[in-house]
Structure 1
């Protein structure tokens, strides 16, 4: 009897201390997945439907994606019209978990009547994302709220420091010197926040091809306004930008990461790396 009692008493603490399994989270695209991972740490197990260097605008859900979503406890999407495929995927998967829109509460910029979904290109907006994600994770894992708040606060501090450093650097240039050409119109929030004019032949989505007249007007604008920097994007075919740069008489300043992270060995494997890479490339091309 004594031996039996010792075995039982030794097992009880292990059961009491066992941590709950991580929260199963599916994010719509790689940037959101990284933000959730940065806040959640070991509290979450995150996967991304649209992976690194992939274009969410033209994403086609697969049966494997539907199965993964069916098993998730939380799905996080950007909203603002970014995931046009969302409703049919949720319906096909039979998802019964919590659906969170990360951009909730953000006042979007607009091109015509359409909201611009690329709010993560403004670090001030990203701080709103982080606060929304943190509140949702705490709501689902109340026992982990202290660790979640600590990770979120540390991340917010990094965003604020990066934001201040970029503003200080760009302040050395006049507004007339801050003009950049990109593949599609994904950097409007960056432009509004940091005083940079972004020009593109393509609209907010990569779904449609730009017209010949739009390309010709952009080339004329590059020549007339003496645009300094032209960039390709990681999710876009570089040939259009290479042609625009050649005919506009400017050089391609490098690659920007707009709607997706790079792979793990690339220069933008996390969101903080993505933003730092883009900011450095833009500032260097502008000569500041």
Structure 2
């Protein structure tokens, strides 16, 4: 019997564990501003990076208040990735507090931003709120074609930071792009089966203009582009009149929004509010939208189910 064999196996096991631990420790620390973007970055970066997300699942980036742990995460990061288009009004202050000196990459760079649809809001009495986003609508990820731009921008930024991994980032990025393109084709085919006149939806805030433009779905919202605003009584009354006049049945809450506003609208309009849509945040693990691709498929399914009732 070889008495040294168990000892050799123990050493081998310890060596492997140390190797795995060292490998994990060597991953490049990257911070993403919110959960949807964090998922995209993780898909592109793969095992070469460790992603920390500031605004987590089911959390609202519009009203985010950085905590001490967020400052620490940014201070340790080699790269920070943001959506841009005015979405993260708090990022500059956070970077200053963290004394961050690295690159801040804007994932939406190169995308043609949609302007906030204030003129459309006038149909149901919106007067236009002073949101923090400016004139640009920041929710560009709601169009999968824009997420393709996000993925390629992230791959290019990671390659600049880590040239040794450039080929891996490019391959990861293009593999993810292929999945996004397949999702987009599927969604377009689903909506094409429903007359455009029936594609009308009410949501709790105005986060789906890019989605609507891509798939010819008309979205009306009780709030504006940001969730930190409340509609006036006149705006509410106008929206309720429009729901009744157009016989809109598709009303949805959003995962990071207070449902009370839409419940009131549904009650006064005499319709039943539908399920939940994921707008600015993923669901927690085990939920229906733990990643971007699942989020989009879930939202499309929810919308189609209700739109058919219009």
TM, length-normalised to structure 2: 0.85
Alignment pair present for 1:58 and 2:63: yes
How do 1:185-204 residues align onto structure 2 when only pairs under 5 Å count? 185-204=206-225
Q: 1:109 is matched with which residue? A: 114
Which among 50, 60, 77 is matched to residue 82 of structure 2? 77
Task: Return the offset for 1:249.
Answer: 2.3
How far, CA to CA, are the matches of 2:106 and 2:171 in structure 1? 22
Gapped regions of structure 1 (runs ≥ 5): 1-14
How far, CA to CA, are the matches of 2:68 and 2:173 in structure 1? 34
- Partner deviation per Cα, 1:144-165 (whole Å, 9 max, x = no partner): 2222222211111111111111
How do 1:3-152 residues align onto structure 2 when only pairs under 5 Å count? 21-111=26-116, 114-152=135-173
Q: 1:265 is matched with which residue? A: 286
Q: 1:287 is matched with which residue? A: 308
How far, CA to CA, are the matches of 2:167 and 2:88 in structure 1? 32
Q: 1:219 is matched with which residue? A: 240
Task: Return the offset for 1:169.
Answer: 1.2
CA RMSD of aligned residues (A): 1.8
How far, CA to CA, are the matches of 2:258 and 2:274 in structure 1? 15
Task: Return the offset for 1:282.
Answer: 0.5
Which 4+ residue blocks in structure 1 deviate beyond 3 angstroms? none
Gapped regions of structure 2 (runs ≥ 5): 1-18, 119-133
How far, CA to CA, are the matches of 1:145 and 1:77 in structure 2? 20
Number of aligned residue pairs: 274
TM, length-normalised to structure 1: 0.91
Contact 2:222/2:262 (8 A) holds in 1: no
How far, CA to CA, are the matches of 2:77 and 2:112 in structure 1? 29
How far, CA to CA, are the matches of 1:155 and 1:280 in structure 2? 21
